[in-house]
Amino acid sequence: MKLIDGKALSNTIKEEIAAEVKRLSTNKKRPPHLAAVLVGEDPASAVYVRNKVTSCEKIGFESTLIKKRETTTEEELLEIVRELNEDKDVDGFIVQLPLPKHINEHKITLAIDPAKDVDGFHPTNFGKMAQGLPAYLPATPFGIMTMLDRYDIDVQGKNCVVLGRSNIVGTPISILLSRKATPGNATVTLCHSRTQNLEDYTRKADIIVIALGIPNYLKADMVKDGVVIIDVGINRIEAPERKSGYKLVGDADFEDLSEKCSFITPVPGGVGPMTVTSLLSNTLQAYKDHFLTNS
């Protein structure tokens, strides 16, 4: 088994971005600027957003964190989105999901200017992605494609099984893997909660992308020898032996699968850090597309 080290790869790519920022933001031009909006007190979201903001600082981006209380109204959040859309000093921004239940996520996503939608969630970017046009790709699928590319994992013609059909991971990664591109050209099956005899699919898979949110769901007896496993799950489970009282595990049972697979992403340190890096790549792209070309 070979580990796909998302943390190390993400650091390498961050160094590449930092070098480019240094080169581009000379001549008195401001550096790229990412803003993040966090609504409410969800502890996992707070950690993810903090990672995004501190990563910006490390690579020479400007960053702004807008923190709002749980009781923020939909109209208040829409107003923040409108202001960020208009702000010439912000190249891209994200609204961290999930949002409190009283706010309609689709309405917020639709309000974001696609030119600043560095999460790639707006239907304009999603549609462009599906048609193979230049677009800001959703961060987690973009990170997975980068991992497959940089680890030289052969995808073309392979049997890829995606578990989970969310708008932000399962559905877009199934499109990217099947696109006529490199990496891509895979034969993709998208499995979900209504799939019957799921193991018939997972046992035939050359590559499995799992994004279900169920701790340690995928076991060795569900896969064939030599499978590549991309684990998107980040689940907190109780661990009384740890000082914190919990630990993070993926959707794949790492210990059980490690002998049987050819490659696997660990949790933590696999897909997670790549998601942040993809967001930074999209922000750099937005800066080049709009700020640098207009100044």
Q: Minimum Å distance from CB 108 to ligand GUN?
A: 10
User: What is the size of the binding site for ligand GUN (CB under 6 A)?
Assistant: 9
User: What is the footprint of ligand GUN within residues 109-148 (CB under 6 A)?
Assistant: 119, 139-140
Q: Which is nearer to ligand GUN, 95 or 229 (CB)?
A: 95
The residue annotated as part of the active site, out of 52, 117, 206, 231, is 52
Q: For the CB of residue 169, give the shortest distance to ligand GUN in the complex, in Å.
A: 8
* Side chain identity, residue 129: M
List 238's β-bridge partners, or say none.
246
Q: Minimum Å distance from CB 138 to ligand GUN? A: 7
Residue nearest to ligand GUN (CB): 97
Annotation says 156 is catalytic: no
Q: Which one is catalytic: 91, 116, 117, 119?
A: 119
Interactions with ligand GUN, residue window 18-37 (CB under 6 A): none
Is 96 assigned a catalytic role? yes
Q: What is the 3-state secondary structure (H, E, C) of the chain?
A: CEECCHHHHHHHHHHHHHHHHHHHCCCCCCCCEEEEEEECCCHHHHHHHHHHHHHHHHHCCEEEEEEECCCCCHHHHHHHHHHHHHCCCCCEEEECCCCCCCCCHHHHHHHCCHHHECCCCCHHHHHHHHCCCCCCCCHHHHHHHHHHHHCCCCCCCCEEEEECCCCCCHHHHHHHHHCCCCCCCCEEEEECCCCCCHHHHHCCCCEEEECCCCCCCECHHHCCCCCEEEECCCEEEECCCCCCCEEEECCECHHHHCCCCCEECCCCCCHHHHHHHHHHHHHHHHHHHHHHHHC
Q: Does 97 bind ligand GUN (CB under 6 A)?
A: yes
Instruction: Pick the stretch among 64-72, 88-96, 224-232, 252-260 that binds ligand GUN (CB under 6 A).
Output: 88-96
Which of 163, 148, 153, 155 has the alpha carbon at shortest distance from 184? 155
Residue number, 183 or 233, with CB nearest to ligand GUN: 233
Active-site residue 22, yes or no?
Answer: no
Binding segment for ligand GUN (CB under 6 A), chosen from 90-98, 177-185, 189-197, 212-220, is 90-98
Closer residue to ligand GUN, CB minimum distance, 35 or 223: 35
Rounded CA separation 137/278 (Å):
8
Q: Please report how close the Cβ of residue 137 comes to ligand GUN at its closest, in angstroms.
A: 11
Does 223 bind ligand GUN (CB under 6 A)? Our answer is no
Residues 135, 101: Cα–Cα separation, whole Å: 29
Site for ligand GUN in 246-285 (CB under 6 A): 275
Segment near ligand GUN (CB under 6 A); pick from 91-99, 129-137, 150-158, 240-248: 91-99
158/213 with CB nearer ligand GUN: 213
- Give the residue numbers marked as catalytic: 52, 96, 119
Interface ranges with ligand GUN (CB under 6 A) = 94-97, 119, 139-140, 168, 275
